[in-house]
Amino acid sequence: MTHHESSRLKRRVSFDVPESATPSSKQGAIPLPPTRLLLTPHSKSSLNLSWDHSSSHSRAQPCTYIVELRDPRTYSW
């Protein structure tokens, strides 16, 4: 990825969640989306993405988010 492509990616950051995301304390339930997403430059070819857990997240349960990158030229994942 070139620096120019990296710059374009920084301006196109967004996220989607399943429509069925609801607050739940059940193990394996889909969490609500994270909040306060922050994207910061790390190097010429990488970025750091950080966030706060949603209010539905219980610290007693592990929570995993899947982060994917979509190619801006083809829109494929």
Tens of pLDDT, residue by residue over 5-37, are: 545 544 455 555 555 555 555 566 677 788 888
pLDDT of amino acid 10: 47
Mean pLDDT of the region 46-67: 77
Which range of residues forms the domain containing residue 65? 1-17+33-77
- pLDDT at position 44: 85
- Assigned domain for 6 exists: yes
Bridge partners for 52 per DSSP? 35
- Average pLDDT of the chain is 70
This prediction's pTM:
0.49
Query: What pLDDT, on the 0 to 100 scale, is given for residue 53?
Result: 79
24 within some domain: no
Asked whether residue 27 is domain-assigned, the answer is: no
Domain count, the chain: 1
